[in-house]
Amino acid sequence: MTPTELETLLNGWLKPQLFKDYCPNGLQLDAGQPIAKVVTGVTANQALIEAAIEAQADAILVHHGWFWKGEAQPLIGLKGLRARSLFQSGVSLLAYHLPLDAHLEMGNNAGLARAMGWQRTGPLDTQAAISIGDLGVLPKAISGQELQSQLSQTLDQDCLWIDGGRPIQTLAWCTGAAQSYFQQAIDHGVDAFVTGEISEPMVHLAREAGVHYYAAGHHATERFGVQSLGLALADHGLECEFIDIPSPV
């Protein structure tokens, strides 16, 4: 299919028009070549670009693309190198940010819940038309240390844990850099909050509120969505390969 046909297919699943995002969702670079093979990855960095070119991909599909708000837009320097690499190799770039976090089947939050065995009970942000985060329950109450171990093992990355000092049965989660949702999680009365990153004030808030906080890795918690999209695209006749470029954050 053409790059625009692939974008149309993905837009039909993820409905980016419903989101007010920090970057453009959809086709970010059209290399003008037909697409038979797609490489999926978390972030459109140079390492992923080079790996996709080596894998003879026609397109790259990521969660973290380009052209973020507040960022310089000229395609010069390292940004220019990324763009030249794609154009010269005939590889298009597509990216979906918040729409891929929020999707209830193929999204990052949904994938994390499946991997961990959590049951979703509702949205974290009840004021938003579409919540980016979720509320849920565990199959049984466990200790804070047990949840840390489960996250670290499942995500294959050490999980930072701020002890809330109570057993965990209910929790909220939002993949990536979602520490700003922690107060909403506290207001819902959950026992634990899981996200990718942590900022210094969250340490004190967790201790004072008595709610466990887990920073399980921005990259590690957001590998699920693009892999789910790859499986769905394979059902539409495209060859798909997930390439992981590890990140400690």
- Alpha-carbon separation of residue 161 from 113, 115, 120, 129, 187 (angstroms): 18, 19, 22, 31, 20
- Please state the φ and ψ torsions of residue 211, each to the nearest 5 degrees: -125, 125
Task: Report how far residue 147's alpha carbon sits from residue 102's, in angstroms, rounded to the nearest whole number.
Answer: 23
Q: 127 with 93, same domain?
A: no
State whether 86 and 138 are in the same domain: no
Q: Quick one: 80 and 126 in the same domain?
A: no
Kind of pairing between the strands at 59-64 and 212-215? unpaired
Q: Which residues of 155-194 are buried (b: 16+ CB within 10 A; e: fewer)?
A: bebebbbbebeeebebbbbbbbbbbebbebbbebebbbbb
Q: What is residue 104's predicted lDDT score, i.e. its pLDDT? A: 97
Q: Decide if 45 is inside a domain.
A: yes
**The domain that contains 204 carries what CATH number?**
3.40.1390.30
Please report whether residue 19 resides in a domain: yes
Tell me if 242 is assigned to some domain: no
Q: What is the pLDDT of residue 246?
A: 94
What is the domain range of residue 74?
A: 3-101
Mean pLDDT of 100-122: 98
Contact 168, 213 (CB under 8 A): no
Quote the number of domains for the chain. Answer: 2
Residue (of 214, 168, 204, 175) closest to 189 by Cα position: 168
Q: What is the CA radius of gyration of the chain?
A: 19
Residues 45 and 124 in one domain: no
Q: 173 and 145: one domain?
A: yes
pTM comes to 0.97
Quote the pLDDT of residue 189.
98
pLDDT, tens digit, for every residue of 135-183?
Answer: 999 999 999 999 999 999 999 999 999 999 999 999 999 999 999 999 9
In percent, the amount of the chain with pLDDT more than 70 equals 100
Q: Which tens digits make up the pLDDT trace of 56-71?
A: 999 999 999 999 999 9
Residue 151 domain-assigned (yes or no): yes
111 part of a folded domain: no
- pLDDT score, position 35: 98
**Stretch 200-224: mean pLDDT, rounded?**
98
Look at residues 101, 135, 153 and tell me which one is the last residue of a structural domain: 101
3-state secondary structure of 236: coil
Q: What is the pLDDT of residue 241?
A: 98
Question: Is 233 inside a domain boundary?
Answer: no
pLDDT tens for residues 220-241? Answer: 999 999 999 999 999 999 999 9
> Residues 32, 71: one domain?
yes
* Same domain as 169, residue 74: no
